[in-house]
Structure formats: structure tokens, C-alpha cells
Amino acid sequence: MLKHKRALGGALTLVVAMGMAGSVLPATAAAATGAQSTVGKPARHTDEARLRALLHQLTTVDGAPGALAEVRDRHRSRVLTSGVADIESRTPVHRDSRFRIGSMTKTFTATMMLQLAGERRIDLDAPVERYLPGVVRGHGNHGRKITIRQMLQHTSGLPDFLAYLKPQDVVRDPMAHHDPRDLVKLALAHPPTFKPGTDWKYSNTGYLLAGMIIEKVTGRSYGEELQRRIVKPLHLHGTSFPGDDPAIPGPHPRGYAQPGPNAPLLDVTAVNPTVGGAAGGIISSGTDINRFMGALLGGKLLRPTQLKQMMTTRPTGGSDGRAYGLGLESKPLPGGGRYWGHTGDFLGYETAAGATFDGRQATVMVNLGPGASDAQSDDIQAAIETALS
């Protein structure tokens, strides 16, 4: 069943029942394979050693078969990998691997929405009803009461469709197509979680609606707009929105899920990603995500007014200092300052990315989701913060 793992965390993780159809594979503790360096000078030894140790922990103690970190600054980039892409063949993780990035998709979706706002084709403070008349209705939910801005910031009170998606429906047919309107209707069969604008709670439903607005306003599909507005201008060769295609193009690790502690790993690589859609359906690579985040913070994708709006945050209520803007979150760095990014979970995979205004970016990706505990998510976040500190 898809759900968000934490209040902020990312989001689209299929919680796999032990009886899920597919290959049942033995659990493995993978050994670190070391770093694969790219252009530039060597990183500071202490930072790279700490990052390498965290990747090793992800692929041993935490149980992920493989892990990848792509780290860059204004002068160099480097890729470190640990473990394996396939627990049967023991193939190492490819440096250009593509992963399902789950809720990292939201940052791409919000960027396109803000581009449309900058073009005056949408108004962030207009009600959803203006763009999707009659769509948000029922059980106390109404598109006249919810603004685009609230929807993008998770302050809309919209119920999250992932809270009501039946696990057996996904498990029974992982290749099934999920229409975003049907998923929205599933959510709207339940009352709002709060009055719009009065609180914060993560909801994937709002981002399905954002994808529908993009298509309505532009007259093109979400995937076409993603290519036109972000992928082609930034030359993101490993990024795609696959629609109904269950395959991951290009080099990629197999995706695994672990239903419980010491349970066998399940190969869940092939799944119809329409269950994520504009909230979590994109495929990308560490290199592409870092390039995207660098361009976003560098003002290459949004006008200054829209970038400022995207980065106008509100606290999420957690103890770690996180705050959420429009499809983008910020968090304090241990040594001072803040970084910007997002996290993402999808069946078989988990990703996190962060960037700073001084030109540093880091993306960490693993091919296990969900794992047996939250330790994996914690160590991914620690790796991001180590890389950016």
C-alpha cells in the first residue's frame, strides 16, 4: 500500500504484504564497493570517509542491497556507491543509475506550477475550483475553499488518498492503471483533515490535482510539460515520466521491499507508476537531480518572485527544524545554515536530495523501499547532511 513514511518524509511507499506476487529473494548484507570519482580534485578525506561509512551502513546494517551518492560543488562532482544493484547477479550499482524518486517528483511539479504562475497562467491564491471546476467536492471538501498555494504547501486540509488505498488492490495487480481523478475521488470520500490554511499535513492528493491543473492550463500532458520545461532545457538525460510503463529505462538497480525484520527481500522493480503520478511518478538519476536542484536554487528555472514564493516556508511541527515551502523543504545543517531539498519513497526505492545557495548539491539513493525500520531514512538524511556540511 502506498503511504508517506513520516509526517514530512517523502511519500509514496508501497507497504508490501508478505503474500505479494513476485519473486521472493533471500535477504543480503552487501559490502561496500568504494567510490567512483568524476571530474575534479579529491574531496576532503574526513568528509568522504564519513559519507562512505554511511553508505556502507545503508547496505549492511540497514539492509539495502545498494546505495549511491552523487555530490557536487562549483568545482567538482563525485559518485560513491556501495553494495549491489541485483542481489542474484551481484552486479555493482552503476554510477549513472536511474531510480524511482517518489515524492522528489513534487519539487518538479511545484516548479512547473510556479513557472505557470510567473507566466500569469495561474494565480497561486486563486481557488482550485477556477481551474478544475467540480472536481474537488464532497464530504466537506470544496475547491472554492482551497487555494493553489495551500495545495502546494500541504495546508489545504485535503485528505491523502494514500491513507485509503487498499493494499490488496495494489498487491493484486501491480500493473494496474490508476487514473488521478479516481485517486482524488478516493480521498474526497473522506472529510478534510482541517480547515484550509489552519494547519499543515502532508497530502499527496494536492499534487495529483496540481498535475491535472498543469494539463488543463497548458493543453499538454504532464510528461510533455516536464520534458519541455525542465528535462530538455537542463539536459536531464536520465529523467522521465513513464506514464503506464512499468520499466525503468537505462541503467538501474532492481528495486526491493522488505515486509518485516529478517524477512526475505521481494523484487518489486516492475510496477505501474500511475499510482504516484504528479505526486511521485518520476524516474531520475543522482546526476540529474543535483543538476535540477542547482538550477532551481540558481534561478535558472524560476523568476525571482516565484522562487521567493517557493521558499516561503512554514514549520511542519517536527522537532528537527524542518519547514515546508511550495514543493520544497528546508532543514538546518548540523554545522549551521540551512539546506533545501525533498525526500521521496516509492516501491523498491528511496531518495533524498539537498542543495545550498553556495553551489553544493547532494543526492542519496537506495534500492530498498520500504525497509524493515526507519534507520535507512535516518542514515540517508545523515549522508545528505554530511555531504553538504
Residues in CB range of 190: below 8 A, 6 or more apart: 139, 159, 163, 164
Distance, in Å, from the CA atom of 185 to the CA atom of 203, rounded to the nearest integer, reads 14
pLDDT confidence of residue 121: 98
pLDDT band at 316 (very low <50, low <70, confident <90, very high): very high
Per-residue model confidence as pLDDT tens digits over 106-159: 999 999 999 999 999 999 999 999 999 999 999 999 999 999 999 999 999 999
pLDDT confidence of residue 169: 75
Distance, in Å, from the CA atom of 86 to the CA atom of 183, rounded to the nearest integer, reads 32
* Domains in the chain: boundaries: 2-388
As annotated, the active-site residues are 103
**Cell 553538504 belongs to which residue?**
388
pLDDT confidence of residue 173: 86
Taking the CB of residue 120, how many other CB atoms lie within 10 A of it? 7
Taking the CB of residue 260, how many other CB atoms lie within 10 A of it? 11
Question: Please, what is the end-to-end C-alpha distance for the chain in angstroms?
Answer: 35
Is the pTM here over 0.75, yes or no? yes
Residues in CB range of 119: below 8 A, 6 or more apart: none
Is pLDDT at 13 greater than 50 in this prediction?
A: no
pLDDT confidence of residue 374: 86
pLDDT confidence of residue 42: 43
CB distance 29 to 57 below 8 Å: no
**In sequence order, what are the beta bridge partners of 18?**
none
pLDDT band at 171 (very low <50, low <70, confident <90, very high): low
Is pLDDT at 295 greater than 70 in this prediction?
A: yes
What is the fold, at CATH topology level, of the domain defined by 2-388?
A: Beta-lactamase (3.40.710)
**Residue 382 has what DSSP assignment?**
H
**Of the candidates 231, 266, 147, the residue with the CA atom closest to the CA atom of residue 197:** 147
Helix (H) or strand (E) holding 354: strand 349-355
Distance, in Å, from the CA atom of 110 to the CA atom of 239, rounded to the nearest integer, reads 16
77: cell is 562532482
> Coil, strand, or helix at residue 19?
coil
Average pLDDT, the chain: 89
pLDDT confidence of residue 389: 87
**In sequence order, what are the beta bridge partners of 342?**
353
pLDDT band at 47 (very low <50, low <70, confident <90, very high): confident
